[in-house]
């Protein structure tokens, strides 16, 4: 879901709105043991890792700054944007984003390529001091890090996009080969967590 963030909002307040709008909970699901992931309409949860949590804190802020949606195609787009902008030493981000970008080549090629080119003209938040980022304003942070438009693609953009997609395809196939046997456990855990959250969010019944 695309949510509006006023330029004068702090990134901390924008993140709270982003969590609420997407039903991620007050802590963004960072403490969950399993990650709710869907391959199109097919649920495909996988285990949470410390490396993913380290990366997803920045990934969530990228959604706010770039306005890419949190639906399936939006995640393919932001994967490509992050690869173009660079993930520095965040290994989990490289792995997940390269796989997502390769999927975008088949499912939304124009939008995925445009996001990659835009990322090449942007700078990611990965590696930035995190707490000061949360205190910064959305508008100022967006101007500093994110290109408003992709701009014309160059031959270098095309070559790097093709190479990244090739690597991403290999990583994606390896990821699913490892994660597929765990999917049934993830589905059960995910259903239990959703039921637990729904129960916690429901108003308490008053005694008669």
d(CA 36, CA 53): 13
The pLDDT value given to residue 80? 98
Three-state DSSP state, 108: coil
Asked if residue 79 is part of any domain, the answer here is yes
| Structural domain range at position 123 | 11-31+43-190
Using alpha carbons, select from 166, 64, 168, 175 the residue that is nearest to residue 125: 64
- According to DSSP H, which parts of 23-154 are helical? 50-66, 72-85, 91-107, 109-120, 130-135, 138-145
The pLDDT value given to residue 106? 93
Asked if residue 36 is part of any domain, the answer here is no
pLDDT, tens digit, 9 for 90 and up, residues 52-107: 999 999 999 999 999 999 998 999 999 999 999 999 999 999 999 999 999 999 99
Asked if residue 113 is part of any domain, the answer here is yes
* Helix 11-22 with 138-145: angle, nearest 10 deg: 90
What average pLDDT does this structure show over 186-203?
65
Asked if residue 1 is part of any domain, the answer here is no
d(CA 50, CA 175): 17
The pLDDT value given to residue 205? 46
- Domain count across the chain: 1
The residues that bridge with 47 in the sheet, in sequence order, are 34
Q: How confident is the model at residue 47 (pLDDT cuts 50, 70, 90)?
A: confident
pLDDT at 204 > cutoff 80: no
Contact indicator for 142, 9 with CB cutoff of 8 Å: no
- Per-residue tokens: 43: 């649920």
- Per-chain mean pLDDT for the chain: 87
Asked if residue 92 is part of any domain, the answer here is yes
Asked if residue 196 is part of any domain, the answer here is no
d(CA 130, CA 139): 17
Asked if residue 198 is part of any domain, the answer here is no
d(CA 186, CA 193): 10
- Per-residue tokens: 90: 């965040």
The pLDDT value given to residue 130? 97
Asked if residue 172 is part of any domain, the answer here is yes
Contact indicator for 83, 97 with CB cutoff of 8 Å: yes
d(CA 100, CA 87): 14
pLDDT at 193 > cutoff 80: no
């Amino acid at each position: 879901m695309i949510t509006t963030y006023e330029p004068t909002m702090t990134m901390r307040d924008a993140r709270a709105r982003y969590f609420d709008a997407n039903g991620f909970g007050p802590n963004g699901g960072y403490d969950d043991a399993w990650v709710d992931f869907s391959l199109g309409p097919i649920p495909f949860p996988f285990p949470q890792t410390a490396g993913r949590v380290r990366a997803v804190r920045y990934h969530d802020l990228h959604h706010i700054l770039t306005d890419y949606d949190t639906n399936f195609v939006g995640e393919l787009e932001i994967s490509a944007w992050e690869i173009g902008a660079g993930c520095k030493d965040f290994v989990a981000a490289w792995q997940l984003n390269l796989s997502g970008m390769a999927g975008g080549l088949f499912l939304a090629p124009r939008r995925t390529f445009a996001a990659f080119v835009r990322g090449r003209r942007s700078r990611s938040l990965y590696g930035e001091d995190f707490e000061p980022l949360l205190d910064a304003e959305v508008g100022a942070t967006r101007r500093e890090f994110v290109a408003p438009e992709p701009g014309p693609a160059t031959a270098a953009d095309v070559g790097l996009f093709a190479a990244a997609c090739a690597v991403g395809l290999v990583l994606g196939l390896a990821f699913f080969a490892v994660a597929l046997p765990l999917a049934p456990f993830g589905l059960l855990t995910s259903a239990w967590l959703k039921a637990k959250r729904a129960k916690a969010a429901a108003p308490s019944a008053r005694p008669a």
